C-alpha cells in the first residue's frame, strides 16, 4: 500500500510545469486553456497543517503506540531524528500512514492525509510506514529512496 497515486502526481508535476513554462501544451491537453497546471500551492504543506493531536489526546497516544512498535529499516536514523507526520489512511480509521522526513525539526504531527509530504530522497532520508491500529502492528516500513 505505497503512495503510488501521490507519487505519480509528484513525479509528473515537474514535467507539466516545464511544458507550461516553455509555452508549450501540457501533455495530453493540446492547447486547451482549461488544462490543469500544477503549482506550489497544490503541493502538500505538512509544516503548516494543523496538528490534530493538540485537540485529541487519543491521537497523541496512538502516535506513541506506533513509535513503540516501529523498527526502523536498515540505514535509517533513530525515529527521534525525523520529523514525523501521521494521518488516517482510510475512512474506517483502521490504518495509519506515516511519513518520516529528515532535515527538519525532530517533532511529530497528526495531519490530514492530503497534507502528508510527497518526498523522494536518497537512502533513508524519507521513511514511510503503514500501521494497523486494530492489531497494533506495523504492516509496512520502508525507505523511500531505496
Are 61 and 125 in the same domain? yes
| Alpha carbon distance 117, 110 (integer Å) | 12
Mean pLDDT estimate for the chain: 78
Are 9 and 35 in the same domain? yes
Are 76 and 22 in the same domain? no
Least confident range of 16-25, 55-64, 73-82, 129-138: 16-25
Report the pLDDT averaged over residues 28-44. 43
Are 21 and 90 in the same domain? no
Structure pTM?
Answer: 0.70
Q: How many CB atoms lie within 10 A of CB 84?
A: 23
Name the DSSP class of 89.
S
Least confident range of 28-32, 47-51, 83-87: 28-32
Are 71 and 134 in the same domain? yes
**Range(s) of the domain holding residue 78:** 52-145
Can you tell me which residue has the cell 507526520?
85
Give the residue with greater pLDDT, 2 vs 65: 65
Residue 57 belongs to a domain = yes
Are 60 and 85 in the same domain? yes
Residue 47 belongs to a domain = no
Report the pLDDT averaged over residues 59-84. 96
pLDDT tens string 99-132:
999 988 889 999 999 999 987 788 899 999 999 9
Report the pLDDT averaged over residues 84-101. 97
Amino acid at each position: 500500500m505505497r503512495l503510488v497515486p501521490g507519487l505519480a502526481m509528484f513525479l509528473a508535476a515537474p514535467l507539466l510545469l516545464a511544458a507550461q513554462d516553455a509555452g508549450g501544451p501540457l501533455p495530453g491537453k493540446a492547447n486547451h486553456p482549461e488544462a490543469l497546471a500544477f503549482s506550489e500551492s497544490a503541493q502538500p504543506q505538512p509544516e503548516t497543517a494543523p496538528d490534530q493531536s493538540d485537540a485529541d489526546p487519543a491521537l497523541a497516544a496512538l502516535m506513541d503506540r506506533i513509535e513503540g512498535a516501529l523498527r526502523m529499516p536498515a540505514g535509517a536514523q533513530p525515529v527521534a531524528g525525523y520529523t514525523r507526520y501521521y494521518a488516517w489512511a482510510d475512512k474506517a480509521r483502521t490504518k495509519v500512514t506515516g511519513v518520516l522526513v529528515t532535515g527538519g525539526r525532530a517533532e511529530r504531527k497528526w495531519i490530514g492525509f492530503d497534507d502528508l509530504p510527497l518526498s523522494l530522497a536518497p537512502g533513508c532520508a524519507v521513511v514511510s510506514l503503514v500501521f494497523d491500529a486494530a492489531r497494533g502492528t506495523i504492516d509496512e516500513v520502508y525507505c523511500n529512496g531505496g
